[in-house]
Structure 1
Amino acid sequence: MDHAEARRFAEEWAAGWNSHDLDRIMTHYASEVVFRSPLAARIIDGSDGVVRGIQALRAYWAEGLRRNPDLRFEVIAVYVGLDGIVINYRDQTGQPAAEVLVFRDGLIVSGMATRGSDEL
C-alpha cells in the first residue's frame, strides 16, 4: 500500500466510524481478525484486551458505539509499513490515539488500538 492508498483508506475508515454504521466499519476486517485494545480489557470480561474473530469484534464495537453516541474521529496522520499502516487521529474529546493495522489480501487481520495523552 502506498501513501496515497493509505490516506484514502484512513479517510474511509474514519468516515465509517463517524457514520456509526457498524456494517460499514466491519467491511475492512477479515473473519480471523485479532484486535487488541486497552478499552476492550475494560468492556469485555476476561478478554485481557484481546478480541478474536469478526463476530467478537463486531459485538465489542457495537457496545463501544452504544456507550459513545458522540464518537467521532479526525485523522491527523497516516504512516505506511511493509504490510500495514498506522492511523494517528483524535477522538471526539480531543484525545490523541492511533490504530496499528496489518493487512492480508486487502483486509485487516490484526489491529491494535493505542491511546495517547496530551502531555509530552
Structure 2
Amino acid sequence: MDSTAIQGFVDGWVRDWNAHDLESLLAHYADDVVFTSPVAAQLVEGSDGVVRGKAALRAYWTEGLRRFPDLRFEVLATYVGVDTVVINYRNQRGGLVNEVLVFDGPLVVRGHGTYLAT
C-alpha cells in the first residue's frame, strides 16, 4: 500500500466523519463490505455486532450519528499492514478506538471497530 494513498485515505476518512458526510465516507467501501463493532451490537438489533453490505453500513452509521450528534474523531496514529490499515483515534468522549480496515484494491471490504478493553 502506497504511503501517500494511505495518508490521503486517512485524511479523508477523518474529515468525512467529522463533517458527518456519510456518502463521501461510504464511497471508499465495497458494496459487499462486512463491518464488525461492539457499538453495532448495541445500535443494530439482531446484528450481533456484524453489519453486512454498504446499505446496512449506511443505516448503522446514520443511526450512530443520530444518537451521537457530537461525534468527532482525532486521529492519533496510522498503522499499515498488507492490504490493511489501522486508524488509532480518540472519539468525542475521549475513548481510544482502533478501526481495522482491510482493502481489496482501493475499497474497504472488511472493517472492525475495536475499543480499549476495560
Question: Counterpart of 1:44?
Answer: 44
SS at match of 2:7: helix
Matched, 1:101 2:64: no
Once the 2 structures are TM-superposed, how far is the Cα of residue 82 of structure 1 from its aligned partner?
Answer: 0.5
Q: Give the AA of the match of 1:37.
A: S
TM-score, with normalisation over the residues of structure 2? 0.95
User: What secondary structure, in the 3-state scheme, does the structure 1 residue paired with 2:59 have?
Assistant: helix
Normalised to the residue count of structure 1, the TM-score between the two structures is 0.93
Alignment of 1:63 with 2:63, yes or no, is: yes
Shift of 1:103: 0.5
State percent identity of aligned pairs.
Answer: 56
3-state DSSP class of the match of 1:93? coil
Tell me the alpha carbon deviations over residues 32-56 of structure 1, each in whole angstroms, 9 at most, x when there is no partner.
0000000000111111100000000
Q: Measure the CA separation in 2 of the matches of 1:78 and 1:4.
A: 12
Q: Which residue of 2 aligns with 1:2?
A: 2
SS at match of 1:64: helix
- The letter of the residue matching 1:39 is V
Greater than 2 Å deviation, 4+ residue runs:
2-5
Q: Which amino acid aligns with 1:79?
A: Y
**Count of aligned pairs:** 118
Partner of 1:75: 75
Q: Which runs of 5+ in 2 are unaligned?
A: none
Name 1:35's counterpart in structure 2: 35
Instruction: Letter of the 1:63 partner, please give it.
Output: E
Name the amino acid aligned to 2:111: G
Note the alpha carbon deviations across 1:42-88, whole angstroms, 9 max, x for none.
11111110000000000000000111111001110000110110000
CA separation in 2, counterparts of 1:27 and 1:67? 23
Amino acid at match of 2:93: T
Instruction: Tell me the C-alpha RMSD between the 2 structures.
Output: 1.2
